[in-house]
Amino acid sequence: MPSFDFLERITLSLPGHVLFAFLLSYVFAFTHPPLPGVPKRCESDHLDVVWVPDVAPSEHVAPSADFSMCAGEFVEVYGSPSNSVPASARVFDGVLTSFFLDTARNVLVYIKTIAKIVRPGGLWANVGPLLYHYAEMPHEMSVEFSAEEILRVIKNWFNLLKVEWRDCYYTSNNKSMMQYHCLHFVAIRNEKPSPELAPGVTG
């Protein structure tokens, strides 16, 4: 699994180590003239090279650190007691959510799941926009809460240490002028009991 290799095995400082690949990620990102809403600054921007991986996570964490990766829907994997992931593997010291909250049909279910899997005193850090993925899809449920409403719910199980807005590029070309306006917060899990999720509920 490539994700496992990137997180656990790649060490950039090994003698003779060669990076996996380089990608011309932006070669098809622009037309001439540029597509509306996706402007570029220079003609050569779409030929920029991206090296993969550019950072080796294994060089920045303790050898005993444990990453969790599991294919599947987030709430089904980490929120449901009836799955293949043991309960002991569903409690974490910290959870980082990047460009994630707005992938939910109902973000409240995501929040309750995160509250359930972060231990008291554990950290939750988030950055990402609120461009709800299912908002424009016919026949799909989509509950679109404001940032203010989301933070109010989070306060039930977390103490907010920092809340701010940041402009981010995500996987877009950082030389382009296309940005996301993102909600960034850092929160610590309080002692309030974990919320219960109804059986069969997904995000």
Domain ranges of the chain: 2-189
Contact 168, 179 (CB under 8 A): yes
Could you report the average pLDDT of every consecutive run of 10 residues in the chain (203 residues)?
Answer: 53 45 49 48 65 67 71 81 59 92 94 94 96 90 94 97 90 68 97 78 60
Rounded CA separation 191/197 (Å): 18
Q: Which pLDDT score is estimated for 125?
A: 98
Q: Which pLDDT score is estimated for 176?
A: 64
pTM over 0.85: no
Q: Which pLDDT score is estimated for 33?
A: 40
- Give backbone dihedrals phi and psi of 77, rounded to 5 degrees, phi first: -75, -50
Residues 6+ apart with CB under 8 A from 176: 29, 38, 39, 40, 41, 45, 169
For residue 169, give the DSSP letter: -
Measured in whole angstroms, the distance separating CA 128 from the mean position of its chain's CA atoms is: 8
Q: Which pLDDT score is estimated for 72?
A: 78
For residue 178, give the DSSP letter: -
SS3 content of the chain, % helix, strand, coil (to 5): 20, 25, 55
Which CATH number is associated with domain 2-189? Answer: 3.40.50
C-alpha angle 191-193-195 in degrees, rounded to nearest 5: 135
